[in-house]
């Protein structure tokens, strides 16, 4: 056990930057394998990048979410699949651990290699309340990073033995069930456009017993064991912060690469070199402004959210602002990535060039629920004062 092991002295973003040479070297192989290479997983462990949000009581670092955003951004600058895994595993682990009994959390999250993966909530599952726990059956998809974790989990609504919804704290009981990966049937079906290295497989269990202590309600204040402000923010906004950081890191790398290309390339379709083309000069300036503005908005909203959580007054207005910043930021970053790919011309389509894989990653990241524009419509209704369903905040 090494739960008392102290965190490294250097900041998490600095440790992420230190991985850039390794991630650059392994990026194509990560894409080909559809999972992180063992060398990359070992490096994440060595740099202690899988316990960034984990409670200090478990040997975690419990860092400020602004530093977490910067970390996922820094990792994704070199490889988006690795950045995606860092975000997914950290948020899943931390929010689960904060709502579990301490001894149970220690048993799952002990050591630097501790991580957690799971798929999206689905209606194709059943959790029956029984003595001491639950009997879980179901199939879940999009378990990002599950090939690199000992534990995986699943979300589902709890039923009573007679099939009626189980009510707890006045609402239907929806829980996150944690179990050893070896207990699940894994389907290797992650054949996708981008973010291939996340290995986001489908998995299922049948009538698996999950004990109460391994089935937290991550958002219920009644079950939150940790009092740190991070855990009052809730899981969905924390995921959103990190995923936005991933898309910003991707877009930054695309823009830097496009700028480097523009300094030396001449397009056959233009009478002037790219560096002398006023349209390209203007475009690069505007793309820099777009990306920097989105990043600044994200950082401002993250700090406002954390400060409100520290004071104990994290209200819907603040949560909505964070929702707007994360969804807007992901879409702005996507627009920058697309523009850089288009501007690079035929140089962007080659496997040997640094555009093609990252463009595929950017397009795949843009399809995530966290980037969907109806979430911005929800914020708009909130600002106007329309009838609204508040969710994902």
pLDDT-derived band at 9 (thresholds 50, 70, 90) equals low
Overall average pLDDT of the 109-137 stretch: 91
Q: What is the pLDDT of residue 123?
A: 78
- 190-233 per-position pLDDT tens digit: 999 999 999 999 999 999 999 999 999 999 999 999 999 999 99
303-340 b/e (C-beta count within 10 Å ≥ 16 → b): ebbbebbeeeebeeebbbbbbbbbbbbbbbbbbbbbbb
Domain 233-384 has CATH 1.10.150.120: no
Contact 40, 26 (CB under 8 A): yes
Fold designation for 117-223 = Butyryl-CoA Dehydrogenase, subunit A; domain 2 (2.40.110)
Fold designation for 12-114 = Butyryl-Coa Dehydrogenase, subunit A; domain 1 (1.10.540)
Q: What is the pLDDT of residue 8?
A: 53
Q: Is the pLDDT of residue 1 over 60?
A: no
What integer best gives the mean pLDDT of the chain?
94
- 240-297 per-position pLDDT tens digit: 999 999 999 999 999 999 999 999 887 766 667 888 899 999 999 999 999 999 999 9
Domain residue spans in the chain?
12-114, 117-223, 233-384
Give the separation between CA 81 and CA 360, rounded to whole angstroms: 11
Overall average pLDDT of the 67-72 stretch: 98
Can you read off the two tokens belonging to residue 258?
């496009």
Overall average pLDDT of the 314-338 stretch: 98
- Secondary structure (H, E, C), the chain: CCCCCCCCCCCHHHHHHCCHHHHHHHHHHHHHHCCCCHHHHHHHHHCCCCCCCCCHHHCCCCCCHHHHHHHHHHHHHHCHHHHHHHHHHHHHHHHHHCCCCHHHHHHHHCCCCCCEEECCCCCCEEEEEECCEEEEEEEEEEECCHHHCCEEEEEEEEECCCCCECEECCEECEEEEEEEHHHCEEECCCCCCCCHHHCCEEEEEEEEEEEHHHCCCCCCHHHCCCCCHHHHCCHHHHHHHHHHHHHHHHHHHHHHHHHHHHHHCCCCCCCCCHHHCHHHHHHHHHHHHHHHHHHHHHHHHHHHHHHHHHHCCCCHHHHHHHHHHHHHHHHHHHHHHHHHHHHCHHHHHCCCCCCHHHHHHHHHHHCCHHHCCHHHHHHHHHHHCCCCCCCCC
Q: What is the pLDDT of residue 4?
A: 36
Give the separation between CA 223 and CA 35, rounded to whole angstroms: 34
Q: What is the pLDDT of residue 274?
A: 84
Q: Is the pLDDT of residue 2 over 60?
A: no
pLDDT-derived band at 160 (thresholds 50, 70, 90) equals very high
Overall average pLDDT of the 128-157 stretch: 95
pLDDT-derived band at 3 (thresholds 50, 70, 90) equals very low
The pairing of beta strand 185-187 with beta strand 125-130: unpaired
- 362-385 per-position pLDDT tens digit: 999 999 999 999 999 999 999 999
Contact 247, 329 (CB under 8 A): yes
Overall average pLDDT of the 12-24 stretch: 98
pTM to 2 decimals? 0.94
């Amino acid at each position: 056990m090494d739960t008392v092991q102290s965190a490294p002295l250097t900041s998490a973003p600095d440790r992420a930057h230190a991985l850039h040479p390794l991630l650059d070297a392994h990026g194509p192989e990560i894409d080909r394998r559809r999972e992180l290479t063992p060398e990359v997983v070992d490096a994440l462990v060595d740099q202690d990048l899988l316990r960034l949000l984990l409670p200090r009581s478990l040997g975690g670092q419990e860092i400020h979410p602004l530093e977490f955003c910067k970390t996922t951004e820094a990792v994704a600058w070199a490889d988006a699949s690795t950045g995606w895994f860092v975000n997914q595993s950290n948020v899943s682990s931390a929010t689960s651990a904060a709502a579990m009994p301490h001894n149970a959390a220690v048993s799952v999250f002990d050591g630097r290699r501790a991580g957690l993966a799971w798929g999206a909530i689905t209606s194709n599952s059943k959790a029956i309340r029984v003595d001491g726990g639950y009997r879980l059956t179901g199939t879940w998809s999009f378990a990002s990073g599950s090939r690199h974790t000992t534990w995986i989990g699943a979300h589902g609504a709890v039923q009573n033995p007679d099939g009626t919804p189980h009510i707890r704290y006045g609402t239907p009981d929806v829980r996150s069930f944690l179990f050893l990966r070896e207990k699940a049937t894994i389907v290797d079906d992650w054949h996708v456009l981008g973010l291939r290295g996340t290995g986001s497989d489908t998995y299922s269990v049948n009538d698996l017993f999950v004990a109460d202590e391994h089935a937290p309600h991550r958002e219920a204040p009644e079950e939150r064991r940790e009092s740190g402000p991070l855990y009052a923010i809730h899981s969905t906004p924390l995921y959103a912060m990190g995923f936005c950081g991933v898309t910003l890191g991707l877009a930054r790398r695309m823009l830097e690469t496009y700028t480097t290309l523009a300094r030396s390339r001449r397009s056959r379709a233009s009478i002037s070199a790219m560096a002398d083309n006023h349209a390209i000069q203007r475009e690069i300036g505007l793309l820099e402004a777009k990306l920097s503005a989105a990043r600044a908005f994200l950082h401002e909203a993250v700090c406002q959210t954390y400060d409100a959580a520290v004071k104990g007054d994290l209200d819907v207005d603040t949560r909505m602002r964070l929702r707007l910043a994360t969804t807007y930021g992901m879409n702005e970053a996507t627009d920058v990535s697309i523009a850089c790919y288009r501007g690079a011309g035929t140089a962007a389509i080659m496997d040997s060039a640094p555009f093609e894989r990252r463009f595929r990653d950017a397009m795949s990241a843009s399809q995530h629920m966290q980037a969907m524009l109806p979430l911005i419509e929800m914020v708009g209704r909130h600002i106007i004062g329309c009838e609204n369903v508040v969710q994902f905040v």
